[in-house]
Amino acid sequence: MIKPHGSSTLNPLFVYDVEKHHALMQEAEGLPSITVSSAAAANAVMMGAGYFNPLTGYMNAADAVGCAENMQTTAGLFFPVPVLNLVEEIITISGASRIALRDPNVEGNPVLAIQDIEAIEEITDEQMQTMTSQVFGTTDSNHPGVAAFNSQGRFAISGAIQVLNFSYFQTDFPDTFRTAVEIRNEIKEHGWEKVVAFQTRNPMHRAHEELCKMALEALNADGVVIHMLLGKLKQGDIPAPVRDASIRKMAELYFPANTVMITGYGFDMLYAGPREAVLHALFRQNMGASHLIVGRDHAGVGDYYGAFDAQTIFDEQVPEGALEIEIFKADHTAYSKKLNRVVMMRDAPDHSKEDFVLLSGTKVREMLGQGIAPPAEFSRPEVAKILSDYYQSLDS
C-alpha cells in the first residue's frame, strides 16, 4: 500500500490508549482552556484522524507563511496550506504552557484536544494578506473561504496536540465518518492495491457516478473510495445527511459489488480551488489511496479559478516527488445523446453543445424544489427522489 506523506507509518494524533485518554480528560478539566474556531477544530480532527500526517500540531507563523508562499514549512516539509489555531483573544490562557482546546461546534464546548504551547504570535496584516492571497488566490471577502479564514482571529497558538475526540463527526455520522487509519485498514481487508479516491461536497449525479467508473476502468483499479466532506459548507450547499443518503442509494443500486467504499471526513470546506486540490491529494495518500480524481473546477467556488487550475497546479507548482499519490485528470462530463451514455466532453470532439444533456446546478435545484425529476440522463431517479424530498421540505 502507498506510504503516508512524510513518514513510513501513519501517526494519528488521537489518543487511543484508554487509560491515557482518561487521564488526559481529567487533566484537561484543570487546564486553562479556550474555545477554538470551527476551522481550528476541523484541523484538530484531521490531525487526530491521521489525514494531516506527519504534522504533530498547529503551525507557527513562519511555517504557516512558508506553506502559503511555497508549500513548505521552514524545515522543508511539503504541505500545501497553513494549519493554524487562530484565536481572537488570549487572556484566558495568558502564561500557560499547556491548554485545553474546546469544541465550538458541540453543545457545552467539550474538550477536543490538549495543546502544548510552543508560541503565541500575533499575525500581522501583511502575513494575513500573504496567506490569504496565496492559498485562495484572492483576498476578496465575498469568497467564503477568505471570509472564514479572516474571521478566526489574529493570535496563532502553535505547538503539539493530543486529540481526545472527533467533535460531532463520529456521533452525527457513525456510518460514514472514518479516520485515515480506519480507511487504510478497510482497504487492506478488501485486498485492494490500486485505489481511486473521489472527493465530494455535493450529491453525486450520473456524471459523477460515471466518472468514478471511468477511473476504475482506465486505471484498472481495485476499488473507489467515495470520500465526502462532512464539515461546514457555504450557505445553500446540501447538508451532509442528505448527500450521504443519496450517495449510498446510488452506490447500492448502480455500482458493481465490492468496488466502492462510502466514507466521510471531518473538515470544513476551504473552497480554495487548486491549493485545496493538493491538500485533498495529500490526505488521500495518507488514507491509502493511490489515485485522486481531480475534475473541472475541483474545490472551486464562483469564478475565482480557471476550469482546470486544480489540475495544472500538480504539473506546475507541486515539486516532483513531493507526493506519491497520482492524479486522474478528468474533463467535464455530460450525457451524450449521440452515444446514449455519459462521456468526458474532451473525448467527444465531434459533438456540439446540443448533443449533450447539460443542466446547471441552479436549474436542477429549481426542478427538485418544484417536485420535478431531472432527466434520467442527469440524475438517477432514486437519487432525485431523495434530493427532491429535501428541497420540498425547505418550502414546507
Tens of pLDDT, residues 298-321: 999 999 999 999 999 999 999 999
Give the pLDDT confidence score for residue 370 in this predicted structure: 82
List of domains in the chain: 18-170 (3.10.400.10), 175-395 (3.40.50.620)
Give the pLDDT confidence score for residue 362 in this predicted structure: 65
Q: Which of 202, 248, 296, 365 is catalytic?
A: 202
Axis-axis angle for helices 61-70, 125-136 (nearest 10): 40
Give the pLDDT confidence score for residue 396 in this predicted structure: 62
Dump pLDDT digits (tens) for 179-218: 999 999 999 999 999 999 999 988 888 888 989 999 999 9
Rg (CA), the chain: 21
360 pLDDT band, cuts 50/70/90, is: low
How would you classify the pairing of strands 333-336 and 356-357? antiparallel
Is 185 catalytic? The answer is no
Q: What is the mean pLDDT of residues 81-85?
A: 98
* Class of residue 108 by CB neighbours under 10 A (exposed 0-12, middle 13-18, buried 19+): exposed
Reply yes or no on whether the pLDDT at 356 is more than 80: yes
Is 85 catalytic? The answer is no
Nearest to 83 by CA among 126, 51, 52, 108: 52
Q: Which of 201, 248, 296, 365 is catalytic?
A: 201
7 pLDDT band, cuts 50/70/90, is: very high
Give the pLDDT confidence score for residue 339 in this predicted structure: 87
Nearest to 372 by CA among 359, 211, 253, 209: 359
